[in-house]
Structure 1
Amino acid sequence: MYSKNVPSSFPKNFLWGGATAANQVEGAWNIDGKGISTAEVVKRATSRKNFTFNEVTKKSLEEAIEDTSTITYPKRRGIDFYHHYEEDIRLFAEMGFKAYRLSIAWARIFPNGDENEPNEKGLVFYDHVFEVCKKYGIEPVVTISHYEMPLGLTLKSNGWETRETIDEFTKLTKVLFERYKGQVKYWLTFNEINAAVWGFSGTGALDEGLPVAQKMQLRYQALHHQFIASALAVLQCHEIDPEAKIGSMLARMQTYPKTPAPSDVRAAQLQDQLNLFFTDVQVRGEYPRYMNRYFHDNGIELEFVTGDEETLKQGKVDFLSFSYYMSTVTSDDEDITKVTGNFALGEANPYLESSEWGWQIDPIGLRITLNELWDRYQVPLFIVENGLGAIDELTADKKIHDDYRIDYLRKHIVEMKEAIKDGVELMGYTSWGPIDLISASTSEMSKRYGFIYVDQDDEGNGSLERIRKDSFYWFKEVIASNGEKL
């Protein structure tokens, strides 16, 4: 319906906050009954500019199981949120958070993934976390699987390669929905579900030594199993807690053509399709036709069982959440200089600046993304990751003057407001890493995102003291003014 009313700013119930993952903050990797997770066998990267997760092989996996090091495997220690959650959430509340996105450590609930009964101590931990959130009026936004499935499922079933893992996942989701009914209003099934096509961290499946074609076959089949598991979880959630909402989560890669040449435009369109395929399935409830040719050309034959198509159709998500860090440029010319960042590979854009890790900064790209996703799906959108990883310097008087982070976030929030004026329905914004944490890709501490500094170095040395940065006070004003004071 045509309306002369154009929104002037963020809605009154906008969910301002921050986002973390259990494997990057919790620590306590081997206490209170917790099992080891797939995230905790990925070695710390040897190169700061290495944007991908270190490959996990059968040999490296055996080494990781024998090794109890938290220096080689920093995600095992995190920032000890397990023992600091009250302090950390209190700091989030001081900033005025309306929402806190966190994930459940699957191996804390089912240590090996295949137990008949959940680990009560794990459930109690999240009871306490949600109680503290409620105390401060913070809405938990809970990711069920964030690159951290129990390693036991890799050893038993090669992760998501086998269909049996669907049953283990829906056993977990049933426990979570029943336990936290009324406490958690917003759920996400899989973090950046498109990461499955990048291998182990997304699939929990070893595929070393396989030819590229077989790797892609395995990964897309694993992804199909995740699609089914997600749809079944949506149906469970709607039945167990009709008041709750459950969404998908995509690592959004905004892609531009290098030139107006039709071949470059088509190359960018293809990259866009390969990125939005995941949400096409989860939001629209079916595989898009354009993937038929992609599967055919790449020799991929997915195995469906009777009822899969109906399950996808019935288990559509309620909203679409996504991460946005950067954009890329592509062309049909393979002989180009590429840049990296959050699973993006593309040509450097001469019109954009880059972070210290080579991630190109494109606030307007966020507005473009919001408009494209809204036009395509017409479901509420939720930005659940966006932020700047940088090296922060702690001064002698324990200050961190991170104007560069404020500048990055300010520019992105301005474009969010413009997208709302464009007509986009945006639920909220949870910046990535409101507190410094272990990097997902490199497992270092030096790459800091937080409004809150954590006194810990890459080797795990430090007091773990929490220190407010300049951006802490800036974001507090942003939230208090509902995005008006930037």
Structure 2
Amino acid sequence: MKFIKDDFLWGGATAASQIEGAYNIDGKSLTLLEMKEFKPLKDRANNHFKITDKSDFLKAIENKEGLHYPKRFGIDFYSRYKEDIALFKEAGMNVYRMSIAWARIYPNGDDQKPNEKGLNFYKNVLNECKEKNIKVMVTMSHFDIPYSIVEKYGGWLNRKTIDLFLKYAETLFTEFCDMVDYWLPFNEINMATWSTETGLGVFESTFKTKNERDSASYQGLHNQFIAQAKVIELGKKLCPSAKFGCMVANITTYSLNCNPINEIENLTRQQKTRWFFYDVVARGKYPTYIKRYFEEENINIQMEKDDVEILEKNVVDFISFSYYMSATVAVEEGEKTAGNLIFGGKNPYLKASEWGWQIDPIGLRITLNELWDRYQKPLFIAENGIGVLETLNDQNTVEDNYRIEYLSEHFKQINEAIKDGVDVFGYTMWTPIDVVSASTNEMSKRYGMIFVDYDDYHNGTGNRFKKKSFDWFQNFMKNKEL
């Protein structure tokens, strides 16, 4: 089968907090994710994207206990970016989705001037991509809010953070406008409602009631919606040739069966966990179903007088999303399985990874069709991949046929969606190279086509080795045969 779209963008995605390391080098400050210690998992298929409470974070600053904080070390991309980008080019990637660490540009969040050493690092990275003829999509905030903003301002619950973020965005536009093709203000913006620590920089342990917690999560999310809209407005003025999108953790679910009560349960679940986020950023307004939910749950969002207009006038140019798995929904909960951000119902027709994420390539085609039919905006698959326990063999490679199968089957469904008439213009796998896992802090949860020689405690050389999937992807990029 031939992939039918010649100008399609193929590449990989990474996050600064999971690859860069150099957490205390050249003026960078700590971020929230770099304050989460490594804890071995007892059950890989039964873990939550959860951090800790504030007391543990305060201990992490000085780390007198000598604990291991994996995201402080990443894969040393800070020192080895030229080597890694050269490998991306060799693999055939023509787009790279990366994030910039806010804490490397404004270490205290409210600094008067940006950190020049941080700016220079990203200039070097972006120049390297430009020289290799690799387009760049930049995520401005990928879960790594500077801890100083958490401590001083209370994270995204404080509208002052919108101003701090806008200043940061203006700096990025001013410095990198000619080097970046696509901009995403936030990664998986719906994380705000799943983990207030990770998504908003607000400690869950501070809330006394569920209503207090829910109200805070939606308030912080609203502030991010406004920040994103203002960033788009500013970006269109400063970088008129660039495109501006959103990024949502897409969680496609099916009713467990055709029982109408399960169908309506799935509909309302999709509205609250999926469509709401797309509706606000792509249509520019809060949908009626979420207003009903807020009223019934006594959730009050504090809005300023211009907020409605700001959202309406600054919708996204394109929609990007992560897609890893699907799940089932039923009123009477049955067997659960893990997934990206949340747990879901087990689907008897699907296989799952070692972490319980159900593998559903056809679900990607369904997702692309649903998004296109609903919004009629260009689509970009910003994350998709499979995490697996892997070790190097005697030939210093990994025979990862399962990854080849995973990618190939998803590529085929993208092709089918294009035949369906869906306007999808690109795909970045998570990830082209092994990284520290966002949710579990493991190096042993490996997603990449490139093996990185570190274990969960960062023992190892850090050297890079091509897996079998690297050669497969390279061949695919030459021939576009599926």
TM superposition score normalised by structure 2: 0.97
Other-structure match for 1:176: 172
Unaligned regions of 5+ residues in structure 2, if any? none
Q: Which amino acid aligns with 1:66?
A: E
Other-structure match for 1:348: 346
Report the alpha carbon displacement of residue 72 of structure 1 after superposing the two structures with TM. Answer: 2.4
Instruction: Verify: 1:317 aligned to 2:316, yes or no.
Output: yes
Q: Is the 8 A contact 2:106 2:114 kept in 1?
A: yes
Matches within 5 A, 1:356-367: 356-367=354-365
Other-structure match for 2:288: 289
State the aligned residue count.
Answer: 477
Report the alpha carbon displacement of residue 53 of structure 1 after superposing the two structures with TM. Answer: 2.8
Secondary structure in 1 matching 2:338? strand
Q: Deviations over 1:105-152 (max 9, x none)?
A: 000000011111100000000000001001110011100000001100
- Of 262, 265, 278, the residue aligned with 1:264 is 262
Q: Which amino acid aligns with 1:457?
A: D
Secondary structure in 1 matching 2:205? coil
Instruction: Verify: 1:62 aligned to 2:61, yes or no.
Output: no
For 2:169 and 2:27, the matched residues in 1 are separated by 19
Other-structure match for 1:27: 21
Q: Deviations over 1:6-49 (max 9, x none)?
A: x9844222110000000000000001000111111122243234
Report the alpha carbon displacement of residue 54 of structure 1 after superposing the two structures with TM. Answer: 3.1
Instruction: Verify: 1:302 aligned to 2:301, yes or no.
Output: yes
Matches within 5 A, 1:147-162: 147-162=143-158
Q: Is the 8 A contact 1:51 1:341 kept in 2?
A: no
Unaligned regions of 5+ residues in structure 1, if any? 1-6
Q: Deviations over 1:267-324 (max 9, x none)?
A: 1111111111111100101111110111112221000001000000111111000000
Q: Which amino acid aligns with 2:205?
A: E
Matches within 5 A, 1:135-146: 135-146=131-142
Q: Is the 8 A contact 1:451 1:472 kept in 2?
A: yes
Other-structure match for 1:475: 473
For 2:431 and 2:48, the matched residues in 1 are separated by 18
Other-structure match for 2:464: 466
For 2:271 and 2:369, the matched residues in 1 are separated by 16
Q: Is the 8 A contact 1:103 1:142 kept in 2?
A: yes
Q: Which amino acid aligns with 1:205?
A: V
Q: Is the 8 A contact 1:81 1:88 kept in 2?
A: yes
Q: Is the 8 A contact 1:159 1:165 kept in 2?
A: yes
Secondary structure in 2 matching 1:208? helix
Other-structure match for 1:185: 181
Instruction: Verify: 1:41 aligned to 2:40, yes or no.
Output: no
Other-structure match for 1:201: 198
Q: Which amino acid aligns with 1:306?
A: K
Report the alpha carbon displacement of residue 65 of structure 1 after superposing the two structures with TM. Answer: 1.3
For 1:449 and 1:146, the matched residues in 2 are separated by 18
Q: Which amino acid aligns with 1:170?
A: L
Aligned-residue sequence identity (percent) comes to: 48
For 2:301 and 2:327, the matched residues in 1 are separated by 29
Q: Is the 8 A contact 1:158 1:204 kept in 2?
A: yes
For 2:64 and 2:186, the matched residues in 1 are separated by 28
Q: Is the 8 A contact 2:49 2:341 kept in 1?
A: no
Other-structure match for 1:3: none
Other-structure match for 1:438: 436
Q: Deviations over 1:410-461 (max 9, x none)?
A: 1100000000000000110100011000000010011000000000000110
For 1:180 and 1:50, the matched residues in 2 are separated by 41
For 1:8 and 1:311, the matched residues in 2 are separated by 43
Report the alpha carbon displacement of residue 58 of structure 1 after superposing the two structures with TM. Answer: 1.7
